[in-house]
A and B are shown apart, each in its own frame.
Chain A
């Protein structure tokens, strides 16, 4: 399977963020989006997930069965974790596994993996920012999706949790998964392509940096 962004342009309001950007992510490959604040990393991820239609160009998954949309085959973990404060850690995990049609019997093992088992009965509203983020990342392991779209996945995570996440990402890639992450810090992946987004400047309006 292969994620292809074909000559996409994205505007937010009057501002042209990204102009004529093309790239492809093959199975087992990671693409890391970098660039200064406000350059459009989050917006690009939301376009890839299908939340925002690009102003021009197209995003598609080649080799997907039944023409499934990118969104249906992707995990999106954004700034907000999708965690309900009123539900306990376990209830949050059980809801997402059922909603995303994953394997319910996995829940306990995944909570254990992310060091959330001891606090499984705690309402998520009482968790620290880092614990909430770990709970948000639970979704990645609960349901199998070929594409992970991660927005600042390491934000608020301590060093041990970052290493844990790197391990999960590496295993996802080794299993033929695809990954696009926006980040400022290192993700700890063995080999990841970097796509540096530069501000689209007036008439040049070139948002695509070189792909190393």
Chain B
């Protein structure tokens, strides 16, 4: 457990100290959401209606930007070799790194989302459901992302490949994320969409590290 916490603390410290990945993701999110109204025109009613979907989609793309470096730095400087000789199984290494990615990237993006919602004329009533669904749904983004990052570790243009591999896997999260916002705003309150969204995140937390660790083992060879 101390090894797990040491790795988590190290990755968080590096993420906030180097800051470039987080800065790029937040900046990308801001720019995409700023440009959307320019492309869609000044129809406030339209923007307000599609704002949750736009914010969710732009968040997925922003998080995707940062996935490429998830294991790459550790491979380059030899840390991955040493981690593989530790007593911590690689699956737990992936969980620690996925968790660090969620805390250092997905969480700040989620907190930025309501502020960007102002720019899309998002209804104030939709702010809490938006943040709640993102908090519940984004762990799936980080953990499914670990699979893509591990599989493309040694490939050139890996970041493009990650997008092709991982974006289709984000479809359920996107669909149920938007669905959950709609049901939270409706009369029935939290419906099955929110539960499925949570189930996807929990499933990803358990299953993705197994797949990603298998990919990492192949990459060590």
Contact = CB atoms under 8 A, between A and B. Distances in A.
A20 interface: no
A51 B220 CA distance: 6
A210 B216 CA distance: 35
Interface stretch (B85-93, B116-124, B153-161, B193-201): B85-93
B81 A100 contact: no
Given A52-B220, A52-B221, A98-B6, A84 B84 contact: no
B81 A99 contact: no
A197 interface: no
A86 B3 contact: no
A35 interface: no
Interface residues of A, number: 30
A87 interface: yes
Interface stretch (A26-34, A69-77, A176-184): A69-77
B14 interface: yes
Interface of A: 46, 49-53, 71-72, 74-76, 78-87, 91, 95-96, 98-101, 136, 139
Given A72-B86, A101-B2, 17 more contacts: A46-B221, A50-B85, A52-B221, A76-B81, A76-B85, A79-B78, A80-B76, A80-B78, A80-B81, A81-B78, A82-B78, A83-B77, A86-B14, A98-B2, A98-B3, A100-B3, A101-B86
13 contacts: A52-B220, A53-B221, A71-B85, A75-B85, A80-B76, A80-B77, A81-B78, A87-B14, A91-B13, A95-B10, A98-B2, A100-B3, A101-B86
